[in-house]
């Protein structure tokens, strides 16, 4: 599973569209405002690749909308912006403290063999790590199902790789400027077509 050239091209187009929306502001703002605009456009571009079909992309769009509602609406005007922004995310499935407390009570009542102890420790470690994953994947806190969580993670990573790949090519080309532009532009097109 790798970023395809069509994914990269689509990301680039959407990102450019987002930057165009900011164009009037770009000349008159601080570096940090500009950085934020660049990053938000890139995030919406990345999320919109999935057209609302994954949980992480919906969560990311909603999160970005809280920071810049106008940008999100403009960038998504073709893809049911309203429904994506206002779509209700599922409520947290079970209150973690209650589950923890009842598990502790259960544990005290059971007596276990050594093998069961090891298996239980391994399961606990995996649970802890999946919790870490929930913290870094957008919308992770709503994914109580581990299978769903890992599926979403896989898709999120491929999308992030696409985002980084294209942004890196563009920024390298932009920094190179006029002297070696031809070379870098060629390399960029080559990289995008090569997939």
20: contact with another protein by CB under 8 A = yes
Distances (CA, A) of 68 to 38, 43, 85, 113, 141: 12, 12, 11, 55, 22
Q: Which is nearer to another protein, 80 or 168 (CB)?
A: 168
C-alpha span between 125 and 65 (Å, rounded): 35
Q: Which of 59, 84, 167, 192 binds another protein (CB under 8 A)?
A: 167
C-alpha span between 12 and 170 (Å, rounded): 9
> 3 — alpha (psi -120 to 50), left (phi > 0) or beta?
beta
Q: Under DSSP, is residue 103 helix (H, G, I), strand (E, B) or coil?
A: helix
Q: Which stretch binds another protein (CB under 8 A): 29-37, 61-69, 70-78, 82-90?
A: 29-37
Q: Site residues (CB under 8 A) for another protein?
A: 1-2, 16, 19-20, 23, 26, 31-32, 34-36, 38-39, 42, 94-95, 98-99, 102-103, 106, 122, 125-126, 129-130, 132-133, 135-137, 146-147, 150-151, 153-154, 156-158, 160-161, 163-164, 167-168, 170-171, 173-175, 177-178, 181, 185
């Amino acid at each position: 599973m790798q970023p395809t050239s069509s994914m990269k091209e689509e990301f680039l187009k959407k990102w450019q569209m987002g930057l165009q929306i900011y164009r009037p502001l770009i000349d008159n703002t601080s570096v940090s405002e500009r950085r934020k605009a660049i990053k938000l456009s890139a995030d919406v571009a990345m999320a919109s690749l999935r057209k609302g079909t994954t949980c992480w992309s919906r969560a990311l769009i909603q999160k970005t909308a809280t920071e810049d509602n106008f940008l999100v609406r403009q960038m998504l005007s073709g893809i049911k912006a309203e429904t994506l922004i206002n779509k209700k995310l599922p409520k947290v499935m079970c209150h973690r403290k209650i589950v923890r407390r009842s598990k502790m009570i259960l544990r005290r009542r059971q007596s276990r063999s050594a093998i069961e102890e090891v298996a239980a420790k391994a399961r606990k470690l995996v649970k802890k790590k999946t919790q870490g994953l929930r913290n870094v994947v957008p919308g992770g806190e709503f994914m109580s199902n581990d299978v769903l969580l890992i599926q979403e993670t896989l898709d999120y990573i491929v999308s992030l790789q696409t985002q980084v790949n294209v942004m890196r090519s563009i920024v390298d080309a932009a920094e190179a400027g006029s002297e070696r532009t031809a070379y870098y532009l060629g390399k960029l097109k080559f990289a995008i077509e090569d997939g």
